[in-house]
Amino acid sequence: MAGQMNSLLKVAVPNKGSLAEAAASMLREAGYRQRNDLKDLVLVDETNGVEFYYLRPKDIAVYVGEGTLDLGITGRDMLLDSGAQAEEVKALGFGGTRFRFAAPGGASMTVADLNGKRIATSYSGLVSTYLAGRGVSARLIHLDGAVESSVRLGVADVVADVVETGTTLKRAGLELFGDPILVSEAILIQRAGVAAPDGLDLLIRRLSGVITARDYLMVDYNVPREKLEAATAITPGLDSPTVSPLAREGWVAVRAMIPAKQAQQVMDDLWATGADAILVTKIHACRI
Ligand SMILES: Nc1ncnc2c1ncn2[C@@H]1O[C@H](COP(=O)(O)OP(=O)(O)OP(=O)(O)O)[C@@H](O)[C@H]1O
Ligand SMILES: O=P(O)(O)OC[C@H]1O[C@H](OP(=O)(O)OP(=O)(O)O)[C@H](O)[C@@H]1O
Ligand SMILES: [Mg+2]
């Protein structure tokens, strides 16, 4: 198969930071080779026709937007901040954050209160676009990190930063205000306004397989035939559940995929309906 490919698909992967490990794990789970040495800058996976470039996550949209690399994994917040000519192809379901304003006593503030304020952020592009869209005029103080300390240290009145658990903000004595500027997660990006590169469909199918295998479990159970309708209403499956005959008179076996987060509730509900031998198993890989 590799022999048929005339050129390798060039994919950028975060080399460090919050997304790096999760991105590499997802690619590994999808069957791609990943680097073992964190100092490697490039890894060629000839068998799968892909070349991985390990780059700073904030730079990835730039490389993809310029067309030097075909695809990249980065954060949605980073893509929008960069202003690069790249677009989101697929959300990857990890690295979830919110991008928020916060200030001391922020609980009583609104976005309109930002007029004339100094806002510290590492995402100046994202914040200036947001403020311009709302007719707010503020001074942006660009910092590379540890933005939460800027207010205490007197260089800013407000911060606009990535929030995951909110612990860092709380420690700095800051309170959130306004709607989230952006809900972010890791995404796959490609150059905007050009045809999809060869190999994109296959990569997406593989990544989708990993996401589905993480989000769903398989449930098997036996149920009296007269309870089948009630039971399959609880486990409709993605398409339709598989129903098979059982040697046991009047009973059938059912198999369906269920959302992993609801597994315990589904088992309780099935049991209450009269099902038994309820088994939940992990999906290792799939193509849906
Ligand atoms: N807990 C988190 N803190 C920061 N960013 C996170 C977190 N979880 C997910 N992300 C996402 O990861 C990306 C930030 O990547 P970045 O490489 O800046 O991470 P980092 O942990 O801040 O690394 P560093 O500060 O070492 O550069 C953004 O898309 C952000 O939304
Ligand atoms: O809401 P939390 O769960 O507390 O996580 C969010 C914090 O983590 C990140 O900082 P990081 O550790 O990357 O340091 P940095 O600011 O120097 O990038 C981010 O910039 C926030 O400060
Ligand atoms: Mg950081």
**Tell me: the pLDDT tens digits for 266-282?**
999 999 999 999 999 99
Cα–Cα distances in angstroms (integers) from residue 195 to residues 6, 31, 186, 201, in the given order: 17, 25, 22, 12
Q: pLDDT grade, residue 3 (50/70/90)?
A: very low
Predicted ipTM of the assembly: 0.95
The domain over range 97-183 is classified in CATH as 3.30.499.10: no
Which atom in ligand 2 lies closest to the alpha carbon of residue 18?
Answer: 13
Question: Which ligand has its closest atom nearest to the C-alpha of 166?
Answer: 2
Please tell me the distance from the alpha carbon of residue 212 to that of residue 257, in angstroms, as a whole number: 10
Whose atoms come closest to the Cα of 57: which ligand? 1
Q: Is the pLDDT of residue 183 over 70?
A: yes
* Atom of ligand 2 lying closest to residue 146 CA: 16
Any idea which architecture 217-282 has in CATH?
A: 2-Layer Sandwich (3.30)
Question: Minimal CA–CA distance to 259: which of 205, 227, 211?
Answer: 211
pTM for the structure as a whole: 0.93
Give the binding-site residues of ligand 2, using a 6 Å CB cut-off: 145-148, 161-168
Ligand whose nearest atom lies closest to the CA of 163: 2
Boundaries of every domain in the chain? 2-94+185-198, 97-183, 217-282
Distance (Å, whole) CA 170 – CA 175: 7
Whether residue 11 has pLDDT greater than 60: yes
- Which residue has a Cα nearest atom 15 of ligand 2? 145
Predicted pLDDT of residue 1: 46
Residues near ligand 1 with C-beta < 6 Å?
A: 16-19, 57, 75, 77-78, 95, 97, 145, 162, 164, 184
Fold identical between 2-94+185-198 and 97-183? yes
Model confidence pLDDT, tens digit, residues 214-235:
999 999 999 999 999 999 999 9
Beta-carbon contacts of 111 under 8 Å, excluding residues fewer than 6 positions away, are 101, 134, 136, 177, 178, 179
Beta-carbon count within 10 A of 174 CB:
26
Q: Give the architecture-level CATH label for domain 2-94+185-198.
A: 3-Layer(aba) Sandwich (3.40)
Three-class HEC string of 84-147 = CCEEEEEECCCCCEEEEEEECCHHHCCHHHHCCCEEEECCHHHHHHHHHHCCCCCEEEECCCCC
**pLDDT single digits (tens) 43-61:** 999 999 999 999 999 999 9
For residue range 236-259, list pLDDT tens digits in order.
999 999 999 999 999 999 999 999
Determine the Cα–Cα distance for residues 167 and 171; give it in Å rounded to an integer: 6
